[in-house]
A and B are shown apart, each in its own frame.
Chain A
Amino acid sequence: MKSAVLLFPGSNRDRDMIKALEHISGNPVATVWHTETTLPEADLYVLPGGFSYGDYLRSGAIAARSPIMGALKSAAAQGKHVLGVCNGFQMLTEAGLLPGALMRNASLHFVCKNVELQTTSTNSPFTQNMASGAVWQCPVAHHDGNYFADSETLNRLEGEGCVAFRYANGTNPNGSINDIAGITSENGRILGMMPHPENLIEDLHGGLEGRALFESVMQTLDAA
């Protein structure tokens, strides 16, 4: 699996993501600055967490309109795989690559803690090797993770198995509708999620549960 991480001013989870991708794939990971207009050849493009543009206007809003995003939209339209974590998820919704929006946490607090996540759909390349219905601990760290979509969009997401992850056992940290923590596109090739699977890769992280996600998508991409 060849992967590339897109970098924006204010990204701060990019190195965690690069480390995770290197660790899982065994390949070097390309990086792309937001002012570029073309992407390096890769199987998986990743939008990392952080606070791009200081969360000005709306979280992810400015980054979603930066020059590199045109190339990312083209790549997605051609069926490339895209992962957005935390601020990356916010960018994906702002760019229109995933539906809905991520609003201020209902508590108004920044939350930085472990939550319980349930893998609710194993339809996508990202979740195919994960145990359906399994609940695992995963860190979150965000101020704007309160997922919202209108009822029509929500029904479609739920009906088509596009809700990949849900906060479980009353651990919803942000008021997200239907406890949604992560969603995929219709074709399953774009995943956006607020929790940080890239922080559950090595023993020192205190858990290895994030590996299954990266290994899942790698299996698909390496078989292609």
Chain B
Amino acid sequence: MKARVTVTLKNGVLDPQGKAIEGSLSALGFAGIAGVRQGKVFDLELAAQSADEAKQEITKMCEQLLANTVIENYSIDILK
């Protein structure tokens, strides 16, 4: 079972790296950028038998390690 976890900063949490990337994109001539937020992607391979089982397990991983829920949100996509 393959899955992808996406971790992003919560709304309202300042993202200086996103701001720097936004500035750099503008400098390259990309106009009309309303905002850039940087995040992280984790690709996991699991022995889980079902999507439900995988999702449950990954939720625990996110809560315990992959995301810092003080500042970050996470989403889980089961890719099979």
Chain A residues near B68 (CB, 8 Å)?
Answer: 58, 61, 94, 101
Q: Given A57-B65, A61-B65: A108 and B17 within 8 A (CB)?
A: yes
Which B residues are within 8 Å of any A CB, using their own CB? 13-14, 16-17, 20, 64-66, 68, 70-71
Chain A residues near B20 (CB, 8 Å)?
Answer: 108
Residues 89-144 of A at the B interface (beta carbon under 8 Å): 93-94, 99-101, 103-108
Say whether A103 contacts B13, CB under 8 Å: yes
Q: How far apart sit A65 and B63, CA to CA, in the bound complex (Å)?
A: 12
Chain B residues near A146 (CB, 8 Å)?
Answer: 14, 16
The residue of chain B having its C-beta at the shortest distance from the C-beta of A100 within the complex is B70
From B16, B65, B70, contact of A108 by CB (8 A): B16
Q: Chain A nearest CB: distance from B5 CB in Å?
A: 12
Say whether A65 contacts B64, CB under 8 Å: yes
* A175 at interface, CB cutoff 8 A: yes
The residue of chain A having its C-beta at the shortest distance from the C-beta of B67 within the complex is A58
* A71 at interface, CB cutoff 8 A: no
From A57, A65, A93, A104, contact of B17 by CB (8 A): A104
Q: Chain B nearest CB: distance from A89 CB in Å?
A: 14
Q: Chain B nearest CB: distance from A174 CB in Å?
A: 10
